[in-house]
Structure 1
Amino acid sequence: MSITETHFAAAPKILVLGATGPTGRHIVSQAVSRGYDVTVLVRSPEKAAGMKGAKIIVGDARDENVLRRAVKGRDAVISALGTPASPFREVTLLSTATRAFVSAMKAERVSRLVTVTGMGAGDSAGHGGFLFDKLIFPLLLRKVYADKNRQEDIIKGSDLNWTIVRPSILNNKSGRTTIQTLTDLTQFRGGSISRENVATFVLDQVTTDQWLHKSPLITW
């Protein structure tokens, strides 16, 4: 596929889900600094403290009616929804919210979706290195990633213009000038990347189809 840019008559209008998480906050701040028209959906206004330049809508990301109001008139949706480690309890938040916002996007005729999942989802499973694959994943993240897989399946089964971004282990360091973007993980085992770099890559996808209908893993 050739790489093409999507040109907007004005600054892209985006909705960010999961905006109050550590990666979501980077996405919002970078989007505002780029001059994007940014709306965020949060569960409480207190959680959005300090998000200057973004329009705040209060509501649950699993509520399709709220999502339709938030999505209306947007050019793209970015989902950085996350959930804590859950060793024992089943996790359904990600797939439930994804099903709701995919339906809302279709209803409001918004087609561009960029979603952050993680290393270990889909065919990236087993490429996290010994510590991640043998200890962290099975003991803490198995149920979370089962829901990430359901989330990815919902997105891939939609007719949206989606990109799924799978970061390696996230850190809070300053971003680097260059990162690796991989779809062939044959030689890849483990890695990390800054949330700042993830936010930059995610926002870049709003205006390019380079990774359209693909699930790249990004890492340093």
Structure 2
Amino acid sequence: MNLLIFGASGATGRALVAAALAQGHRVRAFVRTPGKLAFSHERLNIVVGNVADRHAVESAIAGHDAVFSCLGVGVPLKHDPDVIAGVGHIVDAMRRTGPSRLIYQSFLGVRESRTQLGPLLGGIIVPLMLRHEVADHEAKEGLIARSGLDWTIVRPPKLGNGPASGQFRHGNDIRATSLLPTLSRADVAAFMLAQVSDTTYSRKAVSLLR
């Protein structure tokens, strides 16, 4: 398949690029800082641009089978209106030119999923320390949910490094079993990649937990 990944130079984006290439897909990586990607492959095409630039986003999207977003905030713990605008540009371009399949990496703690994190993370840390990032994710999720596209929103907990283990749960009736649940970026990337051809969570948000 021909896959387009926004936020490909971030930690989860890099894991997603690596997983997609390993499975034989052709990947176009949309990045603002190409030096952070540090990948070279015959099936990898790197596009340098800013998601806040509507024309750059539109020119990158056509001709792909699915689009992924691993976009993060520019400054941790801060509101980032450019990324919210960028997700709007992605949605608008996909509605005009296709494809229809969009997989978006959000965060476990957004909207109704907050109760799945338990009292410490869900009740204290998220609403106090992560309120700006959560509010941004909620705004972006709203744009996606109203888009009419074939979307899946993936909500992992705190992300860590390490190889994919495959040892995690997914669904919306699961609960954290530790005070600070974490999941490897490689596991998140593998799950996101599997959603291209899996319709289980089509037009749904899904939580991931070990």
TM-score (norm 2): 0.91
Structure 1: gaps of 5 or more residues: 1-11
Contact 2:9 2:33 in 1 (8 A): no
How many residues in Structure 1 have an aligned counterpart in Structure 2?
206
Tell me, yes or no, if structure 1 residue 180 matches structure 2 residue 169: yes
2:201 aligned to 211, 215, 218, which one? 211
Work out whether 1:114 is the aligned partner of 2:96.
Answer: no
Matched AA of 2:95: K
Alignment partner of 1:194 is 2:194 = no
2:52 and 2:86 in contact (8 A); partners too:
yes
Percent identity, aligned pairs only? 33
- The answer to whether the aligner puts 1:71 opposite 2:61 as a matched pair is yes
* 2:14–2:37 CA contact under 8 A, matched in 1: no
Aligned to 1:80: 70
Aligned to 1:29: 18
Alignment CA distance shift 1:211-1:137 (3 Å):
same
Deviations 1:9-64 (A, max 9, x none): xxx11100010111110000110111101001111332332243410111111222
In structure 2, the partner of 1:169 is 158
Distance 1:128 1:122 in 2: 12
Separation in structure 2 between the aligned mates of residue 145 and residue 51 of structure 1, nearest angstrom: 33
Distance 1:118 1:177 in 2: 19
> For 1:99 and 1:204, how far apart are their aligned partners in 2?
24
Are 1:98 and 2:98 an aligned pair? Answer: no
Q: For residues 152 and 189 of structure 1, do their structure 2 counterparts lie closer, same or farther at Cα, with a shift above 3 Å needed?
A: farther
Secondary structure at the aligned position of 2:205 is classed as coil
SS in 1 for 2:104: strand
Partner of 1:46: 35
Alpha-carbon contact 1:68-1:107 (below 8 Å) kept: no
Q: Kindly provide the amino acid, as one letter, of the partner of residue 204 in structure 1.
A: A
Residues 1:173 and 1:47: Cα distance change in structure 2 (over 3 Å): closer
Structure-1 separation of matches of 2:61 and 2:170? 29
Runs (5+) with no aligned partner, structure 2: none
State the TM-score, normalizing by the size of structure 1: 0.87
Q: Matches of 2:44 and 2:209 in 1, distance apart?
A: 28
Q: What is aligned with 1:8?
A: none
SS in 2 for 1:216: strand
Partner amino acid, structure 2, of 1:26: A
Check conservation: 1:17, 1:80, Cα contact below 8 A: yes
Residue 109 of structure 1 and its aligned partner are, at CA, apart by: 2.1
* Mapped contact 2:61–2:98 kept (Cα < 8 A): no
CA distance, structure 1, for counterparts of residue 108 and residue 2 of structure 2: 28
Q: Could you tell me which amino acid in structure 2 is paired with residue 94 of structure 1? A: V
Structure-1 separation of matches of 2:121 and 2:111: 15
The residue type equivalent to 1:75 in the other structure is: D
1:138 shift after superposition: 3.3
Matches of 2:163 and 2:182 in 1, distance apart? 12
Equivalent position SS for 2:98: coil
